[in-house]
Amino acid sequence: MTVRITRLAPSPTGALHLGNARTFLVNWALARRQGWTIRMRIEDLDGPRVRPDAAEDVLDILRWLGLDWDGDVLHQTTDLAPYVEAMRRLAAAGCAYPCAATRREIEQAASAPHAGEHELRYPPALRPDLDRPHPFDAPDTNYRFVVPDESIVVDDAFAGRTTHRPYDEIGDFVIWTKRGAPSYQLAVVVDDLRQGVTDVVRGDDLLPSAARQALLYRALGAVEPRWCHLPLVIGEDGRRLAKRHGDTRVETYRASGVSADRLIGLLACWSGIVSAPEPMTATTFRDAFRLDRVPTTPIIYRSTDHAWLLGTS
């Protein structure tokens, strides 16, 4: 029987908030209930955004909540060789090319609308001549992936089947940055391959990334993992949980005297285990968890949730 493997992959760019904790707890419970192996990975390639000591802080919080994992912790920055090798393979296959275009040049190019809040669609008109080789020989330059003009179907254990058009939505996306490090999209694929990950559980804000990553798996001659994208925790204003919604960091609640059981009780309510928050251990959460009970719409973090955690409601 094939062993199924998932991973917890926090980024040490900020403190763990309630939304992150809920996703990690669900991932852990789903895996432990079904006997999967759980790998731990610290995604610390985000250069200046990485905070000193944040990685150990995140691991400490996860242990405090009662989560565990199997084997050693993988820190991305300890070895860039696997990413370099993947880039060489992609470049040799004609799937990548260097790009020195500025944001302004991309904006000015024809048919280059915004693909999202921070992304621009990179138009094919800006591609170099793809009939000649573009070796990976300038690691201090951005490299882009050649996105084919086709639809990508993502079969998701929670979100169902969705169809994406990366060619139209984002165009040729960056897979290597001029900082001398892989982009998120490439790093995730390379890491999941080297850790043997078969199942990816994460927030549904990353569902479009599944299509891009599927293209990278294909280009590297690998099979994509099973996907499971969960609705996010949002504020009462309908926006993704962030600083504007107050201090929702798990560490802040712990420092205020909130117990792990009480915090997990709120996450259990958000995950369809109980109808109203009640203190609960991670083990009890695991034993009661059912994926088909998880709400299909975003979870709203309300002022009453904050009050319950602090015992003032």
| CB burial of residue 238 (10 Å; 0-12, 13-18, 19+) | exposed
DSSP sequence for 236-300: TTSSBS-GGG---BHHHHHHTT--HHHHHHHHHHHTTS-SS-----HHHHHHH--GGGS-SSPEE
Q: Number of H helices and number of E strands within the chain? A: 11, 13
Distance CA 18, CA 11 (A): 15
What's the mean pLDDT in 290-298? 97
Are residues 171 and 147 in contact, defined by beta-carbon separation less than 8 angstroms? Answer: yes
Residues 236 and 276 in one domain: yes
Distance CA 195, CA 268 (A): 29
Residue 115 has pLDDT above 60, yes or no: no
Q: What is the pLDDT of residue 49?
A: 82
Residue 290 has pLDDT above 60, yes or no: yes
Label residues 161-199 b or e (16+ Cβ within 10 Å = b): ebebebbebbbbbbbbbeeebbbbbbbbbbbbbebebbb
Residues 99 and 70 in one domain: no
Residue 37 lies in a domain: yes
Residue 203 lies in a domain: no
Distance CA 140, CA 150 (A): 30
201: left (phi over 0), alpha (psi -120 to 50) or beta: beta
Q: How far apart are the first and last CA of the chain?
A: 49
What are 272-282's pLDDT values in tens digits? 999 999 999 99
Distance CA 185, CA 275 (A): 37
- In 119-173 the beta strands, taken as DSSP E runs, fall at 142-145, 152-156, 160-164
Residue 110 has pLDDT above 80, yes or no: no
What is the domain-level CATH number for residue 153? 3.90.800.10
Residues 243 and 302 in one domain: yes
- Please compute, for residue 160, the number of CA atoms within 13 A of its CA located in the half-sphere on the CB side: 2
Q: What is the pLDDT of residue 120?
A: 87
What's the mean pLDDT in 212-236? 97
Residues 177 and 166 in one domain: yes
Residues 181 and 237 in one domain: no
Q: Where in the sequence is the domain holding 276, given as residue range(s)?
A: 5-22+33-78+231-310
Residue 52 has pLDDT above 90, yes or no: no
Q: What is the pLDDT of residue 113?
A: 53
What's the mean pLDDT in 204-225? 98
Residues 60 and 132 in one domain: no
Residues 44 and 9 in one domain: yes
Residue 291 has pLDDT above 90, yes or no: yes
What is the domain-level CATH number for residue 73? 3.40.50.620
Q: What is the pLDDT of residue 46?
A: 85
- Tell me the three state secondary structure of residue 160: strand
Residues 124 and 168 in one domain: yes
Residue 138 banded pLDDT, cuts 50, 70, 90: very high
Q: Which residue has the higher pLDDT, 299 or 1?
A: 299
What is the residue-averaged pLDDT of the chain? Answer: 94
Q: What is the pLDDT of residue 111?
A: 55
| % of the chain surpassing 90 pLDDT | 83
Residues 68 and 101 in one domain: no
Q: Among the three residues 135, 165, 187, which one is the final residue of a domain in this structure? A: 187
Residue 197 lies in a domain: no
How many domains is the chain built from? Answer: 2
Residue 313 banded pLDDT, cuts 50, 70, 90: low
Residue 224 has pLDDT above 70, yes or no: yes
Torsions phi, psi for 239 (to 5 deg): -105, 155
Residue 242 has pLDDT above 80, yes or no: no
